[in-house]
Amino acid sequence: MPESVSIVPAPRYVEPGDGPGLGLGAGVGLLVGPHPAEIALGVYVARLAERIGIGPVDMLSADDGRDHLIELRLDPAAGPVDADPAERYSLVVDHRRAVVRAPAVTGLYYGVVTLRQTLCSDPSGLVYAPALRVEDAPRFAWRGLSVDVARHFYPVEDIELVMSLMGYYKLNVLHLHLTDDQGWRLDVASRPGLVERSAGSAVHGAPGGYYTSDEYRRIVAFAASRGITVVPEIDVPGHVNAALHAYGELTPSGEPAEAYTGIEVGFSRLSAGLPATRRFLQDVFTDAAAMTPGPYVHLGGDEVLGLEPDEYAALVGIAHDAVRDAGKVVVAWQEAAGVPLAPGSVLQYWDPRTGQAELVAAAAAGCRVLMSPGSRAYLDMKYDAAYPRGLEWAGHIELRDAYDWDPTLLVPGLRTESVIGVEAAIWTETLTTVDELTEMLLPRLTAVAEVAWTAAGRRSWDSYRRRVAAHRDYWDLIGVRWYPSPQVDW
């Protein structure tokens, strides 16, 4: 990659062009197609141009032959022909135009992001795009971030900021961990008591909160504008103290559980023998699926320490069937690998200490595997022992730790084609503000994004650390807090 270019994640193919590139001053033209999604992207680009000081753009619906133009064009042949047309794109910049082509609007958005990352300023302050050619497509179809809003709640505005960062680094799945022992964060029509009684609590007495159906729709709509699919997680049959607190009929005694604001795990559980349990699982997963236009619903399945295997399998099976009956694909944590799951279901691998043989067997039976190894992709782990926030159970994760790994080599015996993708995760037991959240995410989220997007043979730590250093200016511009890793010359 040219030394002057700081694209993250690294594209599949990039070469410098001839000449000085394209100057972008006031009055630059923006040519977009007639489809509503193209127009919406054009509006986004026009607003972006004003925010970064280019000035007003002339939005055009027809090519009038002018120079000094950004062109967004849907083109079924654009991008690497061996890649999924949904996300591939090309970008060509010369002294006349910057042309983004893609078969689909998501690819156009990624091309715009790449163009944005290349922008520079000359000594006079003129913004310009260097001459270059990019042909690009992702390695993995699933490139995600899981955000825990149950331990500490984050309002819609904070989640939109996180999604803006995700889009900038071409991540395409937001996995929301919406329920846990400490709080229930999604208002579902069948069980209003869940938010009435269990949304107000959070770790160590912090303020709680929840998403109304309108707020959840707002998250989904914002996600779609960035090419992101939302995957809601209702975590069962463990991590359910908030549900037990709201509805006493889910406990063997019939009495509601006490609210819980600590950070221990594994102590709460549903009971398969109670009449209320099956109806509860069917109702809440049906509701979550109905609120979610994307194809996936996550049923949890992790860290249930007080259940015998048969009862665990029965409870996961009820949730699995409810998700399937609602027309969605099941996602579950790796512990569910021992339960019969429909082919195409996704198992999320997080803990290398156990369960690898079961995971390989489930993949051989048709499940897909999502890689979220705690020692690489859990971005709530401390940067080092002295860092004031975060946990340490999976060790410390400095920037290079988040970068130097291959998702297809983690589990012996797992076929490469079974790996659907990569997902970072950030758990919020120790994170109370959006500043603390972004400081844990950045810069490590960019490293995981490159692992997910860029083929292993095209990645280089030395190249990445040079490129990511230039992104501090973007983070400062949008006002997010980040961690100055000593492994990078900022």
Which residues are known catalytic residues? 303
Q: Cβ distance 140 to 420 under 8 Å?
A: yes
Kindly give the pairing relationship between strand 89-93 and strand 97-102.
antiparallel
Q: Cβ distance 393 to 425 under 8 Å?
A: no
Pairwise CA distance, residues 237 & 20, whole Å: 60
364, amino acid identity: A
Pairwise CA distance, residues 78 & 86, whole Å: 11
Pairwise CA distance, residues 259 & 201, whole Å: 7
Class of residue 3 by CB neighbours under 10 A (exposed 0-12, middle 13-18, buried 19+): exposed
431, amino acid identity: L
**CA angle (446, 447, 453) in 5-degree steps:** 85
